[in-house]
Structures are given as structure tokens and as C-alpha cells.
Chains A and B, each alone.
Chain A
């Protein structure tokens, strides 16, 4: 888990951002990106010596001006939960991976179109590999037409 993914989880929560120049911004985190640029709403901006205050409806802060951010404690637990959810969906997402690394799956299915394989493929992957994977499988299947290999790998997954 990376620090920035924690920040992403914090979207919709109240955070406190201190900039390098000492100003602080309190508000709801609307959005953030990979550069740590952030959008806040309902913001209270506090001057460096905390003697002046401004109320802003929303604001955008460039990431590199940030010194640190205080986030609510519960966010850490939420990140852990989110990661578990992602893990549960891993088989499904591995269909996405199939197109780059484990083409075997695709092939297997492609064979399926030849007859035997398809039954195999669909039953072993019935878990819910995306239809995307199947589509790809057909291309490659035709190209390579190696039924046994495809099926074998398919079962592994």
C-alpha cells in the first residue's frame, strides 16, 4: 500500500493540509491525483501564525507545495479493507492480465471454439473471468490452434 493510495481512500473525509509556507487548509478532500495535487471543499485557510482565517468554498492545491497532511485515523483501516476487496476480485482482474502475460488462457478458450476446449474453458473459468478474456482468447486460439496447451493452462488458473 502506497501513501498516495491512502490519500485516495481519504476522499470525502475532512483533512488538514499544511503547505510549505506554513498556511493550513482544513476541508473535505474531494479529489487527489498521483502528483498529490488536491481539491478541497468547504475550506478554512489559516495563515502561518494562525492569526488570520479565510473561508473558501473550494480550492485546488498543487502537490509540491504540501508539507504534510493530517488524515482521520479510520482511513488506515479503510485502506486495509479496500485491499482485501481488491484481493477477492483478483481472479476476475487476472482476466485483464491474461492479455499481456498469461496468454495461455486466451488460447485455451480459442480452442474451445474448436469444440472441446470451449466447454473446458468456460467451466474452469466460470469463476467470472471477463468476457473480455474470452474475446481475446478467440483471436489467439485461431492463430495458434493448440488445444491441449490452452486447456492445460486454463485449468491452472
Chain B
């Protein structure tokens, strides 16, 4: 079976977590895939983590375009929660928390930028590359 190819064959019908380029994480059972890594997830949930808090949103069957996939791997979502001692919060709460975290990061980035520009360095942000 192994020809030196990285294949998704072994992951079919397993529960996977899929991380997209925008940072979203989907957990579901992978039913099928193709050569582009387009994948179909069944019983999908979207899970957001902020610190030690998390929240899930049920989404059903999901078609994910391959070129947006960064990582996928097997996961047991309940075990993960237990082992990492995560606490479940509401979807609204996690969204707010995520927003706050983003703003904080953005602010840090700006400060860093300012300091670097002041000391004569300019850096092009690669953060916005994904916006198209």
C-alpha cells in the first residue's frame, strides 16, 4: 500500500479534526476525499478554543475544499476535553472571547510594528495575505 505517497486512505471513516487556513477547526467523520484533499465530513462540529475554554457548534455534513486545509488528524473530542481540562462555554461567549483575543493580538502586532518602524525597520505584514 505504501508507495511513498502521503495518503488520506487510512483516515477514512475516522473522526478527524481539520484545521483551515483561517484557523477554523472542524471535527467530524471523514467519509470521502479526492486528489485535492477536498473532504466530506459527517456529523461535523466547529470547535473554537480560547485559552482553556471551548465551544462547539453542530453543522452536519460538510464539504471542505482541499486548498483551504492546513492540517487534519485523528482526534477524540471528548478525551481531548478531559485531558486538557477544558471548560465548555456558550457559543456567544466563545465568540466574544475570540474577538477579544484577536484584538489583543492585533494590538501587540501594532506595537511591535511601531517599535520596529521607529528603529528603522519596516516589515510587510503577512497577516492579511489570506484576504482575497
A interface residue numbers (CB < 8 A to B): 1-4, 6-7, 20-22, 36, 63-73, 75-76
In the complex, which range does the number of interface residues on chain B fall in? 20 to 34
Please tell me if the beta carbons of A21 and B132 are within 8 angstroms of each other in the complex: yes
Contact indicator per residue, chain B 12-39, by CB within 8 Å of chain A (1) or not (0) = 0000000010100010000111100011
Instruction: Tell me the complex Cα distance, A7–B61, Å.
Output: 11
Instruction: Report 7 cross-chain contacts, Cβ distance below 8 Å, ordered by A residue.
Output: A20-B130, A21-B132, A36-B65, A68-B62, A69-B62, A70-B59, A73-B61
Q: Let me know if A67 and B68 touch, CB within 8 A.
A: yes
User: Once the chains bind, are B22 and A22 in contact (CB under 8 Å)?
Assistant: yes
Whether B61 contacts A3 by the Cβ 8 Å rule is: no
Is B42 positioned at the interface, with any CB of A under 8 Å from its CB? yes
Residues of B close to A36: CB separation below 8 A: 38, 65
Which residues from chain A contact B62 at a C-beta distance below 8 Å?
68-71
- Between A and B, how many residue pairs show CB distances below 8 Å? 65
Least CB separation from A17: chain B residue: B63
State the majority secondary structure of interface residues on B.
strand
Give the complex CA separation of A66 and B20 in angstroms: 12
User: Measured between C-beta atoms, what is the minimum distance from A19 to chain B in Å?
Assistant: 9
Contact B60 A3 (CB under 8 A): no
The interface of chain B, by Cβ under 8 A from chain A, is 20, 22, 26, 31-34, 38-40, 42, 59-65, 67-68, 130-132
**Closest 3 pairs (CB-CB, A-B):** A69-B63, A3-B38, A68-B64
Interface of A is mostly: mixed
In the complex formed, the residue of B with least CB distance to A15 is B63
Contact of B40 with A70 in the complex, beta carbons under 8 Å: no
How many angstroms from the CA of A21 to the CA of B59 in the assembled complex? 20
For A36, A67, A70, which residue has the most chain B Cβ atoms within 10 angstroms?
A67
Complex-state Cα separation, A71 to B31, whole angstroms: 14
Closest to B59 in A: A70
B65 in contact with A68 (CB, 8 Å):
yes
A4 touching B67, Cβ below 8 Å: no
Cβ contacts under 8 Å, A67 to chain B? 20, 22, 64-65, 68
Q: Which residue of A lies closest to B66 (CB)?
A: A3
| Structural contact, A68 and B68, CB atoms closer than 8 A | yes
The CA of A3 and the CA of B67, in the complex, are separated in Å by: 14
